[in-house]
Amino acid sequence: MVNQWVSSNGRIDSFIEAAYLNSPVVTKGPERFIYVNPDHYRYLVGNIVVISDPTFNLDIIRWMLDNGIKVISRINFPEISDLIIEPYIPRIEFKVMWNGDVIDVSGKDLRYEDIISTLTQSSEVEDTDTGEPMKVFLPKIKGIKNDFLFDSEKNLTGLGWGMYQVGINVRKDLKYQDLDLYKTKKVMLNIGQGGLL
């Protein structure tokens, strides 16, 4: 998927994917695109679709596969055996930074789409349609259900990868933690605990 343009769906998940792929985001153009969690999918033959939403409709994924659309999923859907799974690599990505805001959704019964909507409204993205990869500035969202952050095989969702990049420690087994501190070079020695904060 190198050197592909990511089509903006107006939601933050397309910008998170573009940052991961180091690809530009565009809203129009003649090139073939990568579409992320598309709402409208019937016209995408010949393009690539990336699924990073754990609640994405399985019937739509099956329809796309049956109609020759290349579908790559960042998370596992065990119900679909012929789906290509390419999980996010939990690496440090400096194109995704914390914007300084914290949103707490603890105890709220929110759908994945609600959290993506909140994240989209609370995020900042550098200018698109320039042909250059942009930076994405996300808030930290605390209290997200684990099912929205990673799948049963611990593959990060788009939301999970984005939150990991801004310093939410979505899985304790990941090599790097507190990426916001690392990226801003604010890592401090915690004498009382004998480790890094």
Question: Per-10-residue mean pLDDT for the chain, 197 residues long?
Answer: 69 91 75 85 88 96 94 96 94 91 93 93 76 82 94 94 92 82 61 47
pLDDT of residue 188: 47
Q: What are the residue boundaries of the structural domains of the chain, listed by start? A: 5-85, 96-183
pLDDT of residue 17: 93
pLDDT of residue 186: 62
The answer to whether the CB of 98 falls within 8 A of the CB of 142 is: no
Q: Which residues contact 39 (CB under 8 A, 6 or more apart)?
A: 9
The answer to whether the CB of 93 falls within 8 A of the CB of 79 is: no
pLDDT of residue 128: 55
pLDDT of residue 98: 92
